[in-house]
Amino acid sequence: MNKLSVDPTNAACGAIFAATGLFFAWQAFGLDLGTAFRMGPGYFPLVLALILVLLGIVIIVQATRVQGEPLGPIAWRGMLLILPAPIFFGLTVRGLGFAPSLFFTALIAAFASSRMKPLYALAVALGITIFSIIVFSYSLGLPYERFGPWTRF
């Protein structure tokens, strides 16, 4: 008999996808679903949640078909810097404005890598900020403040 081999990384990711999809599907059932032709506020979130569950199941099934490597160490530094970066942006974009919030967000995220040097991180954050201002402010003309009230003296 063949021993069942499971890729633990893909199995864990599939389980997280499926659990997240089930959670949001459960939340969507609390809203009015409507019909396919007259969608209520819960219809589209339910469809997306069910697609996420289906994707999670497919990933779990695929994880049983390949021999995977054991789970390695958890990258705590990456998690502690990548996850709060968009939260920081969301909390400060109105007060600091787009440019400073994006610069500090990119700077925080840049240090998720242990190989990142401070000068290179500053250059990357500055480059991302300049590029984003050119694209979103000048090219697309999105109406937001580049510098917010917290930066005015």
Among 25, 96, 92, 90, which Cα is nearest to 55's?
A: 25
Q: Alpha carbon of 98 to those of 19, 86, 125, 146, 150: distances in Å?
A: 34, 13, 13, 5, 12
Interatomic CA distance for residues 96 and 132, integer angstroms: 16
pTM equals 0.63
How much is the pLDDT for 3? Answer: 67
Average pLDDT per consecutive 10 residues, the chain (153 residues; last block may be shorter): 74 95 91 84 91 96 82 85 94 95 96 93 97 94 91 82
pLDDT at 2: 56
- The reported pLDDT for the residue numbered 81 is 92
What per-residue confidence (pLDDT) applies to 96? 95
